[in-house]
Structure 1
Amino acid sequence: MMKVKVSLRPIVSKINLPTVMKKAILPGDSVERLFIATQVGEIFYIGNGVIRTFLDIRPRVIKLGTSEPGVSRGGYDERGLLGLAFHPKFYYNGLFYLHYSVAGTQGPGALSEPFKPNPCDPGTLNLRWVNRETQYDHIDTVEEWILQTNGQPRKRRTLLQLRRPFFNHNGVNSLNFSPETGKLILTTGDGGSGYDPFNLSQDDMEIAGKIIEIDVVKHTFTNDPPVVTRFNELPAPIQETLTVIAKGVRNIPGISFQRYYNSYIKYVGNVGQDLVESIFSFVHYKPIPVTQLIQASFMNSELDQEGFINFGWRGWEGAFPASFIRGCSANPTLDEKTIAYYDEAIQTSVRRIQPLTSYYHKDPRPDKFGGTALTGVQSYIGNQIPSLTGSVVFTDLARNEGDGSQVKGVLAYTRVRADCKLNDFSVIETDYNFGSQSAYYVSLGSNLDQTRLYLGVYSSMKVTDFNQGTVFEIIP
């Protein structure tokens, strides 16, 4: 694949960690504005070169960088304001949607110690999440808001309240509208820890580890919907608004749509465990109404899942059976890789879809890179950067150099192949000089017609290190 070089043009700097970047046209306005949501709970927009506050929900967002009271995570966190989506008719109706971790909901977590599967101990392979009302980490909410005629946003209703077992794998850029169905799409991670200890991602009843469509046209004004973890715990009116597109998700930086004749290619990234990061693509899919999933579970019957998307986790990590890695004591230069969930890899081997492309945490090839975690996937159909037109661009948090050098993220791209087979990828080189600062690539965004791309960069891995973010436009 062609080597591509781009420049990064700073748009705004010294902001908190940017989780979502989207463009929208404000009611009564005439131009697209870039909206930036930060993990701590602010939403800004750029107008005439000036940054303005659209909404500040910091008091509503969980205190970040800590677990239970008095215990520190060193400032790293995956909770916060994670999703922002504007209704396709936002210009006319002022509706937008938020996904965030709720203040005051901190719990002790679902397990008392870090989890790692042990193939020699079946007990570690078949854990169950019990005592869910007390053994959880926090609660996430998905809400509908409206921009009132006086210019002030207010919350309209709560769509979902989800109890999460661990602090991580909550998704990011987790709310997007489908141009095909007009429905709101929520992408949820598997609930966290590592290796999906409760196998939530493959369980049809679990909300974790899924891609879910929400029909926001159906007005289910349940004033205070219950806090749930499973679809069958939801009130019937809410169940009827939900369909499930996919399962087998580990963690996911949103979904991107690329127009392709009369349909759309969907791009989804699945963050890896130890080995590999993966980007998937699909055009056709058959979503399953949640009411059907519940009925099949109640009747203990097999549901027809032809056309239902399965990314394979936890049995598969991209194109590989899910493994864990430990150092070889006899030879420190080598690693032992053990297939953790062999039986599940077999069970899901035929049902899962293959990745479009994968990149690895260790890669000896000189023109590639070792990755850390996938943080953004966006279709690009602009012509400003002709060599990228029609491709899917993705970002990795931090290049894994292994030599302790200055940290910098990576931009790369790939394309869908006509024969639908696994494709290679190529690094996109940038000319921006970050100086002595680290540059973690934390998010990727685009404008409404996918002709411009935006990169969110942070100079620290700690969300408690404030005002260290910069948003760039990616330009020729």
Structure 2
Amino acid sequence: MDATTRRRFLEASGLALTALAGCVDGGAGSGQSTATTENGTSDPSLDSLELLADPVATGFTSPLDVVVPRSEEYWVVDQAGQVAVVDGADADPQVALDVTDRMVDVGGYDERGLLGLAFHPEYDGAGRAYVRYSAPRREGTPDDYSHTFVLSEFEVSDRTIDPDSERTVLEIPEPQGNHNAGAVTFGPDGYLYVGVGDGGAGNDQGRGHVEDWYDAVDGGNGQDVTENLLGSILRIDVDGDGTDGRPYAVPDDNPLVGKEGLPEQFAWGFRNPWRFSFGPDGRFFVADVGQSKWEEVSVVERGGNYGWNVREGANCFRAADCPTETPDGAPLRDPIVQYPHDGGEVSGISVIGGYLYDGENVPPLRGRYVFADWRARGTLFVATDRGDQRWPVTAVPVDGDGLGSNVLSFGETPAGELLVCTTNEQGVTGETGAVHLLRSA
């Protein structure tokens, strides 16, 4: 059965294709609350817009991230285990780091691997980089868990990341192989933000998922802030002096400092935050992959609870009715964007977080949030802030075969132009992975 036939078979059977950021929930559904579930009408000013995707670099297996710390210096994170650097468009990629000997084996459909990269704000061609990957079980990870989440610091110079300079910054036991998130980025405050999924499996339940305050659905890590770091966005100071054996400091204004809870956590209630970014205005955009009904994007704030697994998007999960706040009165925050797995042009199965566009190549996109679904269908999504809670979303076509069949991630150049990472495969295989630069058709 070829890939196209297999896709049609799965869709006809009612099964959601799993993307690098998502999973099938094993048949569980979600009830719908009275919250608004539509993104509003599309923006007519975008109706005639078409985009082109020019290849910057090709030949990758599964490019999950591209970071451009300086002009014409593209660092591509390949899930198979390599970081490659490309000096300018159309140049041949050169391997800058290979961590395959430190990772679990990946291949076929897999959400583990080399997942993220961030350069220290002081990087100027030399300095430090922070790399996120999935390692075999390390000390402290239970024998029946899948693997260990690793965030490490490396020294960088001359377009090379020194493998012998590795210093482990953070380890988290991962009970399942999916919902690993993987994004890391420095915020405008100079602190490192780290995305952590809920631990995997379905429903935020099962091995490695703790009890929480919500009784209608068993579990889970998304609503817990005391037992582990899963289901959260973390915020750490890699330049500070750590305590209690930590190789990092916790910023004093993290929301749980001095309170009950693990102080690294910045926000929680996430299932699988797949890519995040800061806009030029400082807003923090986080895409969170849904389970069986809804995909979502939120503007995340310090101490915010984004609802999983009480809610999927703005909708009750596995219940006809659900609370809008926690027992202590903290609100469950609604997303700015949600779209269904079934329905119209704006639909899909695994949201891929993007950027608030700040470039010049596509003037109609300026100030709008550009993102995608893994099942691209030759389109990208554009959300427009009209001052309401829910942003309307428009599907914008990408001309020709430029995108490939599956979008994996986005990147941004120092000039604010958007890069799109794609593949024609449904897993960690082949050499169809590519990075594209967006422009108007």
TM-score normalised by the shorter chain: which range applies?
Answer: 0.7 to 0.9
| Counterpart for residue 18 of structure 2 | none
- How far apart, in 2, do the equivalents of 1:258 and 1:431 lie? 26
- The AA in structure 2 aligned to 1:105 is R
Change (3 A) 1:433 1:163: same
TM-score (norm 1): 0.71
Percent sequence identity is: 26
Alignment of 1:74-473 (within 5 A): 75-91=108-124, 94-102=127-135, 104-105=136-137, 133-148=142-157, 153-154=162-163, 155-172=165-182, 174-179=183-188, 181-197=189-205, 198=209, 199-205=220-226, 206-220=228-242, 235=245, 240=250, 243-260=264-281, 264-282=282-300, 285-286=301-302, 308-323=303-318, 339=320, 347=326, 351-363=331-343, 365=344, 368-398=345-375, 408=377, 410-418=379-387, 420-433=388-401, 439-449=405-415, 451-463=416-428, 465-473=429-437
> Per-residue CA shift, 1:237-258, capped at 9, x if unaligned?
7574653220001111232111
Larger radius of gyration: 1
Is this contact kept in 2: 1:409–1:441, CA < 8 A? no
Cα deviation, residue 259, structure 1: 2.3
The one-character-per-residue Cα deviations of 1:95-154 (angstroms, maximum 9, x if unpaired) are 00001001x4399xxxxxxxxxxxxxxxxxxxxxxx962221111110010115795524
How many positions carry a matched residue from both structures? 366
**More contact order relative to length (CA 8 Å, sep ≥ 6):** 2
**Structure 2 counterpart of 1:38, one-letter code:** D
How much has 1:92 moved relative to structure 2? 6.5
Q: In 1, Cα distance between the equivalents of 2:354 and 2:161?
A: 31
Runs of 4 or more above 6 Å deviation:
none
Cα distance per residue 1:142-177 (max 9 Å; x no partner): 0010115795524341111111010011103x1000
**Letter in structure 2 aligned against 1:194:** G
Q: 1:34-73 residue pairs with structure 2 within 5 A? A: 34-48=74-88, 49-65=91-107
Separation in 1, partners of 2:78, 2:95: 11
Q: Would you say the 8 A contact 1:410–1:441 is kept in 2? A: no
Listed as ranges, the gaps of 5+ residues in structure 1 are 26-30, 66-74, 108-130, 223-233, 287-307, 324-337, 400-407
**1:9-41 CA-partner distances (Å, limit 9, x unpaired):** 11222211001111023xxxxx44111110011
Q: Give the deviation of 1:343 after TM superposition.
A: 5.5
The match for 2:67 is 22
SS at match of 1:59: helix
- Opposite residue 87 of structure 1, the aligned amino acid is H
**Offset at residue 344 of structure 1 (A):** 6.3
- 2:373–2:407 contact (8 Å) kept in structure 1: yes
Q: Which runs of 5+ in 2 are unaligned?
A: 1-42, 210-219, 252-262
Q: Give the partner amino acid of 2:146.
A: D
Quickly say closer, same or farther: Cα 1:18–1:347, change in 2 above 3 A: same
Mapped to 2, the partners of 1:149 and 1:446 lie a distance apart of 22
Q: Deviations over 1:411-439 (max 9, x none)?
A: 10112232x421210001111226xx961
Q: C-alpha separation between the residues in 2 aligned to 1:320 and 1:410?
A: 26
Q: Secondary structure at the match of 2:273?
A: coil
TM-score by length of 2: 0.77
1:355 maps to amino acid: P
Measured against aligned partners, the alpha-carbon deviations of 1:205-255 in whole angstroms (never above 9, x if no partner) come to 2200111111011244x9xxxxxxxxxxx7467574653220001111232
Which whole-Å CA distance do the structure 1 matches of 2:94 and 2:234 have between them? 32
Is the contact made by 1:106 and 1:137 (CA closer than 8 Å) also made in structure 2?
no
